Amino acid sequence: MRLSASLIPTLKETPADAQIASHRLMLRAGLVRQMASGIYAWLPAGHRVLTKIAQIVREEQDAAGVQELLMPTIQSAELWRESGRYDAYGKEMLRITDRHERELLYGPTNEEMITAIMRDSVRSYRDLPQMLYHIQWKFRDEVRPRFGVLRGREFLMKDAYSFDLDYAGALIAYKKMMLAYMRTFQRIGVTAIPMRADTGQIGGDLSHEFHVLAPTGESGVFYDSAFEAGDARGAGDLDAFYEQMTTIYAATDEKHDLNAWAAIPDERKREGRGIEVGQIFYFGKKYSETMDFGVIGPDGAKIFPEMGSYGIGVSRLVGAIIEARHDEAGIIWPDAVAPFRAAILNLRQGDAATGAICEALHDKLGADALYDDRDERAGAKFAEADLMGHPWQIIVGPRGAANGQVELKRRATGERADLSVEDALARILG
207 binds Mg ion per the rule CB under 5 A = no
Q: Where in 171-210 is the site for ligand ATP (CB under 6 A)?
A: 200
Among 152, 189, 294, 397, binds ligand ATP (CB under 6 A): 152
Which of 23, 52, 119, 316 contacts ligand ATP by CB under 6 A?
316
Candidate residues 83, 279, 393, 405; the one interacting with Mg ion per rule CB under 5 A: 279
Residue closer to Mg ion, measured from CB, 79 or 312: 312
Q: Which is nearer to ligand ATP, 212 or 419 (CB)?
A: 212
Nearer to Mg ion, 279 or 405 (CB): 279
Rounded CA separation 19/335 (Å): 26
Q: Which does 184 bind (CB under 5 to 8 A by kind): Mg ion, ligand ATP, none?
A: none
Q: Which of these segments, 24-32, 130-138, 279-287, 297-305, binds Mg ion (CB under 5 A)?
A: 279-287
By CB under 6 A, tell whether 279 contacts ligand ATP. Answer: yes
The residue whose Cβ lies closest to ligand ATP is 313
- Taking CB within 5 to 8 Å according to partner kind, which of ligand ATP, Mg ion, none is near residue 157? ligand ATP
Contact between 276 and ligand ATP per CB under 6 A: yes
Q: CB of residue 317 vs ligand ATP: minimum separation in angstroms?
A: 7
Of these, 21, 56, 157, 424, which contacts ligand ATP (CB under 6 A)? Answer: 157
- Indicate the angle between helix axes 167-188 and 238-247, nearest 10 degrees: 80
Instruction: Identify the residue among 277, 370, 401, 425 touching ligand ATP (CB under 6 A).
Output: 277
By CB under 6 A, residue 112 contacts ligand ATP: no
Least distance (Å) from Mg ion to the CB of residue 208? Answer: 10
Determine if 134 is a binding residue for ligand ATP (CB under 6 A): no
Per residue, the 3-state secondary structure of the chain, as one string, reads CEHHHCCCCCCCCCCCCCCCHHHHHHHHCCCEEEEECCEEEECHHHHHHHHHHHHHHHHHHHHCCCEECCCCCEEEHHHHHHHCHHHHCHHHCEEEECCCCCEEEECCCCHHHHHHHHHHHCCEHHHCCEEEEEEEEEECCCCCCECHHHECCEEEEEEEEEEECCHHHHHHHHHHHHHHHHHHHHHHCCCEEEEECCCHHHCCCEEEEEEEECCCCCEEEEEEHHHCCCCCCCCCCHHHHHHHHHHCCEEEHHHCCHHHHHCCCHHHEEEEEEEEEEEEEEEECHHHHHCCCCEECCCCCEECCEEEEEEEEHHHHHHHHHHHCEECCEECCCHHHCCCCEEEEECCCCCHHHHHHHHHHHHHHHHHEEEECCCCCHHHHHHHHHHHCCCEEEEECHHHHHCCEEEEEECCCCCEEEEEHHHHHHHHHC
- Per CB under 5 A, 110 contacts Mg ion: no
140 is a contact residue toward ligand ATP (CB under 6 A): yes
Q: How far is the CB of 201 from Mg ion (least distance, A)?
A: 9
* 397 contact choice in Mg ion, ligand ATP, none (CB below 5 to 8 Å, kind-dependent): none
Which partner, Mg ion, ligand ATP, none, binds residue 411 by CB below 5 to 8 Å per kind? none
Q: Name the site residues for ligand ATP (rule: CB under 6 A).
A: 109, 140, 142, 151-152, 155, 157, 200, 276-279, 311, 313, 315-316
Which residues of this chain interact with Mg ion, rule CB under 5 A? 279
